[in-house]
Amino acid sequence: MWKAIYRSILACLVLISCLHSTGATAATTERAIFAGGCFWCMEQPFDTLPGVLSVMPGYTGGTKLNPTYQEVSAGGTGHAEAVEITFDPSKISYQKLLQVFWHNIDPTVTDRQFCDTGHQYRAAIFYLSEQQHKLAQDSKDQVNRTKRFKEAILTGIEPASTFYPAEEYHRHYYKKNPFRYRFYRANCGRDKRLKELWGTAAGH
């Protein structure tokens, strides 16, 4: 009988340990959502950063349920092409992600990024908490204080809404189709414009 009781206690302790471990893992990850035009081009800059666990392209900020790429890219759904970043805040800060975000967009335009035009290609920070809201606004104020640009900073800061992951063929497009990806970036003038805007900080 005592052996059975011992085994039961041991099983309970293992279960409690697993639950605590799962809870700790969940508590040490956070999410960030950014839009900066074509989500293919916004995935790569974050994907290799230490502390970033995953980057998912998708759609957010609109009204249509379960939108498709064809619907979003055509306009009218209110959604923006965006990326959802899952990260470990003990290894990389939200402020660092914001810095990388700014250095990968043109903040002087609205409803377009580089060769892509329309509300679906707007640049925006979608905050998931009041702390993210504050940090996003602080980062935008900092960009303004640098007086780097003659134009106003038009990038939006919006509360996050449902994020819809993009279709499988869009995920890690830069890895799956490297030649097409590089051709698109060059043809769209993205890297050239980023260098004009940010100099050596472009993309970082």
Q: Looking up tokens 């007086």, which residue turns up?
A: 147
In whole angstroms, what is the distance from residue 5 CA to residue 126 CA?
Answer: 52
CA distances from 194 to 96, 108, 112, 119, 197 (A): 18, 12, 14, 20, 5
In whole angstroms, what is the distance from residue 111 CA to residue 184 CA?
Answer: 19
DSSP SS3 for 106:
coil
Residue 111: phi and psi, rounded to 5, are: 55, 30
Q: Which of 12, 18, 38, 41 is catalytic?
A: 38
In whole angstroms, what is the distance from residue 163 CA to residue 150 CA?
Answer: 34
38 labelled catalytic: yes
Q: Looking up tokens 């498709």, which residue turns up?
A: 68
Active-site residue numbers?
Answer: 38
